[in-house]
Structure 1
Amino acid sequence: MARCSAGTTACPSEVARAVHAARGGSGDGWRDLMEPVRQAARRLAADGELEITQNGVVVDPSRAKGPVRLRPVR
């Protein structure tokens, strides 16, 4: 997320893929990181460091259904 430009968002799967690649992983092992990425996103949102959005609107992660995007708070 630190690589995101101000105001841009990332899909949680993009974050999982980036972490997986940074660890030297290949293939679809990134899928195992999806829940840890979601948990980290919820913690960062609770700390005010990250916003979780749907259709550009900040949502409560405990109530969000469907695809979300992650946006760093700068």
Structure 2
Amino acid sequence: MAKSTTPKRPTRDEFELEELGNQLVEAKDDGDERALTVWGFPEKIRGRIIVLDSRTRLVHVEENETIRIIPFLDIMKVSYE
């Protein structure tokens, strides 16, 4: 059987994930637009974080009046760009 050729998502330690979670909570509380670097997307996703669902581990981002739902573990970086 052939191996899958799709690259795996980079692994991160508990500290990095906690820091990322804190940045997302801060971004949601501020209501400011942020740029998210998402694994598997060639471009950054820019928008306001409107929902952080801890049960499903999904982040809802409002981008140009449309809502994108991104898995928490796929978010690599949060920035102000």
Per chain length, whose mean CA-contact separation is higher, i.e. which structure has more relative contact order (CA < 8 Å, sep 6+)?
A: 1
TM tier, shorter chain?
A: 0.3 to 0.5
Q: Tell which structure's C-alpha radius of gyration is larger.
A: 2
Higher strand share: 2
Higher helix share: 1
TM-score of the superposed pair, with normalisation by structure 2 = 0.34
